[in-house]
């Protein structure tokens, strides 16, 4: 069994006193800020950090991160709006790079009108679409070409590049794309964008990947006689949900520090998971505990419609780890169900056998009315879930900030 921060347990017990059953996301902004600072301190000064808001767009999270990062990575007009709304009143709007496949005319026009810093373009048709819209608006657009590497440059739980995918321009087609930009006068080619994998746990491989990206951009410059001042290497720094040694940040920083400084080039990292995962917890109260076909099941007020992460390939076969916050009050006239010293599968309230948050996980004791708490839920937790399937109430949101 794992332990969680006593402040989080206390906040959940307080919530239980105010109303049951408990179902909540808890975001700890101190943990979040510390993690952003840790990353920044480990990286050489020539690295910039943009937060990929898709990992967690909660306004409190975005506001807490804003003063500590160089900008944001957004992949839709909705995300751009979320950044602007959450940071309104904090000074000048933060810098934003706009990425993502399948940009519509409206996305591109909206992004250009909102003064984004850089548009990461995913394909040749999109280049022409941006030219067509920019010409109509009478603006010049700073663009970067997203490259899908010709070989496997990174591993991770989600591969986007170095493999056939909908992302980016295949490396072999890059010379043609660079030449195309030269014929599109409204486009100002500023750099290259790479985001090859998400959730890579190997710091040495990530450093080698950044080194490779630096080499590619220098080669493109030399071959085409262009100056590309921005290298955006994407996100992808991993989180070990099984509580193993995880991504070795110091090693990553040290290896990057050994590379020659990139000669005035801006090198942008746009992590999401690595910054936000640790600050979040998903908590759900046990409504029922039963034995079915020889196995124990705990059914909670909540499930994968709030917290879909456990059903993604991120944490190995047993899924996401959890802790139990015991709640002593049991105000019912009927017996309290209980399991002691046994593996339990934690399932949600949806009418599908896929609504499983953790499978066959050992508990010392679990009772109806206790709260199961999933740590490392701050990235791709609420954001990737299908909230309204079965129309259950959404979870509460508890923000700790001290
Ligand atoms: C273009 C882009 N940048 C950054 C990220 C953030 O990735 P991660 O959360 O793995 O750091 C993503 C995630 O999908 C992405 O698509």
The answer on 193 and 119 residing in a single domain is yes
Under DSSP, the state recorded for 319 is B
Ligand 1 pocket: which of 51, 54, 202 to mutate (most atoms <8 Å of CB)? 54
Which residue ranges of the chain lie beneath pLDDT 50? Answer: none
Task: Pick the last residue of a domain from 241, 271, 301.
Answer: 271
- Residue 265's Cα: distance from chain center in Å? 26
Is 46 domain-assigned? no
Query: Residue 87 is inside which H or E element, if any?
Result: helix 77-87
Do 309 and 210 lie in a common domain?
A: no
102, 190: one domain? yes
Does 100 lie in the same domain as 240?
yes
pLDDT at residue 166, rounded to an integer: 84
Q: Are residues 103 and 232 in the same domain?
A: yes
**Which residues have CB under 6 Å of ligand 1?**
52, 54-55, 73, 99, 195, 198-199, 234-237, 270-274
Last residue of a domain, which of 271, 301, 317? 271
Torsion 66-68-70-72 (CA) sign: negative
pLDDT at 165: 83
pLDDT at 316: 60
Residue nearest to atom 14 of ligand 1 (CA): 198
Regarding whether 305 and 169 lie in a shared domain, the answer is: no
Q: Is residue 156 part of a domain?
A: yes
Residues 258 and 396 in one domain: no
User: pTM for this structure?
Assistant: 0.96
- Chain Cα centroid distance, residue 123: 23
89 is a domain residue: no
35 within domain boundaries: no
Q: Which of 28, 95, 19, 38 is nearest to 58 (CA)?
A: 28
Q: Quick check: helix, strand or coil at residue 75? A: coil
Same domain, 115 and 230: yes
Q: Which contacts qualify for 312-319: CB closer than 8 Å, 24 or more apart?
A: 312/157, 312/380, 312/384, 313/157, 313/158, 314/157, 314/199, 314/241, 315/241, 315/242, 316/241, 316/242, 317/359, 318/358, 318/359, 318/360, 318/361, 319/356, 319/357, 319/358, 319/359, 319/361
Count of the separate structural domains present in the chain:
2
CATH number at residue 339: 2.40.37.10
Residues 134 and 264 in one domain: yes
* Residues 338 and 247 occupy one common structural domain: no
Which residue bears the tokens 């998400």? 198
What is the C-alpha separation between 348 and 279, in angstroms, rounded?
23
**Could you say which of 271, 303, 327 is where a domain stops?**
271
Distance from the alpha carbon of residue 305 to the mean position of ligand 1, in angstroms: 22
Give the model confidence (pLDDT) of 34-50 as tens digits. Answer: 999 999 999 999 999 99
The domain in which residue 210 lies consists of 95-271
Rounded to whole angstroms, the Cα distance separating 66 from 89 reads 12
Question: Computed from CA positions of residues 214, 217, 222, 223, in that sequence, does the dihedral angle turn out positive or negative?
Answer: positive
**CATH code of the domain containing 177:** 3.20.20.10
Is 52 inside a domain boundary? no
> How far does CA 47 lie from the centroid of its chain?
19
Q: Are 164 and 247 in the same domain?
A: yes
Q: Which pLDDT score is estimated for 162? A: 80
Is 23 labeled as catalytic in the residue annotation?
no
The minimum-distance atom of ligand 1 relative to the CA of 238 is: 10
- Domain assignment present for residue 33? The answer is no
**Residue 353 maps to a domain:** yes
Residues 153-177 have pLDDT tens digits of 777 777 777 888 888 899 999 999 9
Report long-range pairs for 248-251 (Cβ below 8 Å, ≥24 apart): 248/203, 248/204, 249/38, 249/39, 249/42, 249/203, 250/42, 251/203, 251/204, 251/207
Do 135 and 264 sit in the same domain of this protein?
A: yes
Q: For residue 150, how many C-alpha atoms fall within 13 Å in the half-sphere facing its CB? A: 6
């Amino acid at each position: 069994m794992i332990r969680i921060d006593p402040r989080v347990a206390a906040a959940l017990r307080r919530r239980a006193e105010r109303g049951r059953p408990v179902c909540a996301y808890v975001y700890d902004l101190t943990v979040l800020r510390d993690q952003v600072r840790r990353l920044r301190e480990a990286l050489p000064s020539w690295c910039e950090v943009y937060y990929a808001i898709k990992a967690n767009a909660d306004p409190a999270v975005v506001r807490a991160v804003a003063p500590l990062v160089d900008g944001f990575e957004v992949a839709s007009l909705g995300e751009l709006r979320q950044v602007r709304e959450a940071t309104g009143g904090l000074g000048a709007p933060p810098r934003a790079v706009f990425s993502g496949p399948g940009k519509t005319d409206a996305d591109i026009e909206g992004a250009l009108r909102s003064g984004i810093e850089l548009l990461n373009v995913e394909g040749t048709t999109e280049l022409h679409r941006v030219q067509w819209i920019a010409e109509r608006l009478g603006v010049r657009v700073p663009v970067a070409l997203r490259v899908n590497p010709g070989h496997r440059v990174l591993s991770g739980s989600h591969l986007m590049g170095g493999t056939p995918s909908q992302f980016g321009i295949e490396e072999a087609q890059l010379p043609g794309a660079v030449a195309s930009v030269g014929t599109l006068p409204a486009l100002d080619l500023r750099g290259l964008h790479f985001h090859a994998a998400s959730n890579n746990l190997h710091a040495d491989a990530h450093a080698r990947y950044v080194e490779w990206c630096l080499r590619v951009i220098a080669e493109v410059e030399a071959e085409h006689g262009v100056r590309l001042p921005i290298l955006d290497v994407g996100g992808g720094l991993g989180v070990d949900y099984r509580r193993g040694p995880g991504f070795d940040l110091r090693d990553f920083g040290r290896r990057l520090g050994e590379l020659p400084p990139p000669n005035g080039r801006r090198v942008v990292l746009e992590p999401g998971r690595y910054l936000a995962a640790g600050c979040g917890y998903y908590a759900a109260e046990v409504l029922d505990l039963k034995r079915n076909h020889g196995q124990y099941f705990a059914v909670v007020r909540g499930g994968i419609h709030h917290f879909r992460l456990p059903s993604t390939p991120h944490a190995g076969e047993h899924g996401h780890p959890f802790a139990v916050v015991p709640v002593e009050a049991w105000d019912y006239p009927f017996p309290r169900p209980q399991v002691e010293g046994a593996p339990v599968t934690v399932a949600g309230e949806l009418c599908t056998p896929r609504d499983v948050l953790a499978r066959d996980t050992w508990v010392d004791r679990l009772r109806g009315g206790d709260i199961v708490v999933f740590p490392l839920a701050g990235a791709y937790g609420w954001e990737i879930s299908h909230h309204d399937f079965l129309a259950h109430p959404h979870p509460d949101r508890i923000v700790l900030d001290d």
